[in-house]
Structure 1
C-alpha cells in the first residue's frame, strides 16, 4: 500500500525541531492521529518502518518528532532537568500539536517515551483519546539502573559512540549522557509516574516484554493499575525492551485492535 511520508522543521523561539508525518493511501482523516514519543537514545530514524506500519494498519495519520537535543533537532542548551519527563507535555510536544494543527490525539511512547506519553495523557485529559506505552518505566528500579550501567560500559568500546552519532550528529555524547547520567544520578532515584497516572482518563494499552532488561514486568503492572481509564495489559512472552522491533507484526496488531473502538 502507498504511504506518503513527509519531513518537517518546526521553528520555535530559540531552536528548531525535526518532525515527520506518515499517511497511507487508505487513510481515514476522521480518525484521531497517533503521535509517537521516542526512547532515551532514540529519534525518528530509529523508529525504522514502525510508523509506516502503524499508518497502514490503523489508517490513521502518524506523527513523530526528535526531542530537543536528539536526532536532527537542534542541540539542547543544557543537561536534562530532573522533571524532564513531565515537562515535555507543555514544552516541545505542545508546539508539535500547534504546528500540525492536531486537537485530539492518541499518544504512543517507547521506554522513557512511554513515561512521557503517560504524562502527556495526564496533561491533556480532554484531548488524549488513547494512551499506548511500550516498555515504559513507572519508576527507577535496580534492574533499570543495572541495565543502564551495563550499556554505559558498552559505549566505552571503540566505535560505539560513532554508531550513535550516525543518528544524533554532533550530539551523540550529550544524548548518551542525557540517558546514563540523568537516570544514574542520586537526585533522580525517586522519580516516578505516581502523580501523573491518576490523571489519565483515556483508554490505555500497556505493552511490555517479559524479558525487558531495563524494567521488570512490575513496571507495566503499576502503569496498568495506576491509570483511571479502562486499561489493557499485554506482557509479551520471550520479548525484551524493543518488542515493536522484535515482533513488529504482533505489536502493530495489538495496537490496531486496541484502537478499533477509538474514533
Structure 2
C-alpha cells in the first residue's frame, strides 16, 4: 500500500488486524516492524514504539495479531504451530501490504520467536536485522511453570479485568496463548533449526530475572546461528525489559539498528 492512515485496520486473509504507523512511511525510510508478546497487542507496547521512532528517526509499524487487541478473534484452541503460521503465512502478506522495502523486525517473547522463524524461513532481502527481546527458541521447564501460574492468576485474581482493558475478547487472547503453551505436546516445540538459516545480524535483549526463560535461549542462538549475535543481558529486568528497563533496552536496540543500517548502506556503496 502506497499511503495509509497513521492507525486503522489491515485485512490479511480472514482477519482485520489493527495497526499504528509512527514516523515516515515504508516508502520514505526504513521500517521497524514490531511483533508483540503472547499476551500483548499494539497498545500494550505503551510508548516504547514512539520512543524507538524518536531515537532512530525511522518508521515504526506496530500491529496486533489476530486474537489480540482490537483485531479479529481466532478459533480456539490455537494450533500448536501457531507461531510458524504467523511467521510463514501472515507476516509475509502483511509486509507486502504495508509496502515494506527495508528494515528490521523487533519482537518480544512470542513475537521474537515469530521474527526468528520468518528470518530463517523466508529469505527476505529487504530484512536487515532482528532485535529479539526475551526470545524463545525451545520450551523450558521455567516457561511452562510460569505459564501455569499465570493461568491460575487469570482465573482467580484481577488479572483478567486488567487484560480486558487491552483485548476486546480477553478470553480469546489469553486461552489462545496459554492453552497452546500448556498442551503437553507443545514441549516438543523447537525452532532452533531456523536459526542456522538467518542471514542478518541479531540483537538479543534479555532480563537476568526473566521468569519465562533462561540464558539457555541465548546459548542456543550462539550455538546455532552463523550470523552475528549481539547480546544485552540486563540485571534489573525480567521478561519485559522494554518496560522494566526501558532506557537500556531502547539504547541497545537503537544502537543496533543504527549500526546495522549504516553497515548495509556502506556495503551497498562499495559493491
Structure 2 distance, partners of 1:13, 1:29, is 23
Mapped contact 2:209–2:238 kept (Cα < 8 A): yes
Moved more, 182-191 or 124-133: 124-133
Which residue among 59, 67, 70 is the counterpart of 2:68? Answer: 70
Mapped contact 1:206–1:223 kept (Cα < 8 A): no
Unaligned runs of 5+ in 2: 262-271
Aligned length: 256
Label 1:158 to 1:246 Cα distance change in 2 as closer, same or farther (>3 A). closer
Structure 2 distance, partners of 1:30, 1:223, is 33
Alpha-carbon shift at residue 247 of structure 1 (Å): 1.4
Alignment correspondent of 1:18: 18
Alignment correspondent of 2:252: 254
Moved more, 66-75 or 76-85: 76-85
Mapped contact 1:29–1:60 kept (Cα < 8 A): no
Cα deviation per residue 1:141-162 (whole Å; 9 max; x = unaligned)?
1000111111111112243212
Structure 2 distance, partners of 1:178, 1:13, is 19
Alignment correspondent of 1:85: 83
Cα deviation per residue 1:153-201 (whole Å; 9 max; x = unaligned)?
11122432122111111x2112111222111111111101122111111
The equivalences for 1:130-169 within 5 A come to: 130-169=129-168
The equivalences for 1:87-106 within 5 A come to: 87-106=85-104
SS in 2 for 1:240: coil
State the Cα RMSD in Å.
1.8
TM-score (norm 1): 0.91
Which residue among 221, 224, 233 is the counterpart of 1:223? Answer: 221
- Structure with the bigger percentage of helix: 2
Structure 1 distance, partners of 2:242, 2:219, is 19
